[in-house]
Amino acid sequence: MNHSNDSHGLIQWHGTTIIGVKKGGKTVIAGDGQVSMGNTVIKPNAKKVRRLGDGSVIAGFAGATADAFTLFERLEKKLEQHRGQLMRAAVELAKDWRTDKYLRNLEALMIVADKDVLLILTGNGDVLEPEEGIAAIGSGGNYALSAAKALTDYEDDPEKIARRAMAVAAEVCVFTNDRVTVETV
């Protein structure tokens, strides 16, 4: 993930590509493995997509790694508190993320899913459920989103859609590579 200084002198992280595709009763989240600092690739094989809790929730992040792990831990706690109800846990996490003094400074975006919902979570308190069952974040997110939308009429397998969309993003976005991690629910 590359970074730049914002007007407050804080490091702003952007980079990577994460896509979620929900189709035919199956949901896939895929992410690339590149970690960049400026124009330098620091690590080519980071795992930005993982299973949470009892394995029934999958999540991917774009942003600072340490911040993402903090958010994953918080989401797991919310899932425990709300008996695995992802939508409720996501809304509660988003509230905390927006209002908590510590969490408010975390630089990350997340895509989370279970067998029922696919959501984008932001530090602004947003819990967004994409209408068409496709969500993408990160610097290559718009490329992957466009590719997935184009493919969805021609392909029924959400994993094939996600993998091809990630390949397109890796070809176009310099902060995205082709070392893809995929999780499915």
- b (16+ CB within 10 A) / e for 19-39: bbbbbeeebbbbbbbbbbeee
65 is catalytic: no
Q: Kindly name the residue from 16, 27, 176, 181 that is annotated as catalytic.
A: 16
Cβ proximity of 162 and 140 under 8 Å = no
CA 139 to chain centre: 11
Rounded Cα distance between 184 and 25, Å, is 11
Rounded-to-5 percentages of helix, strand, coil across the chain: 30, 30, 35
One-letter amino acid at 130 equals: P
One-letter amino acid at 57 equals: V
Cβ proximity of 175 and 34 under 8 Å = yes
List active site positions: 16
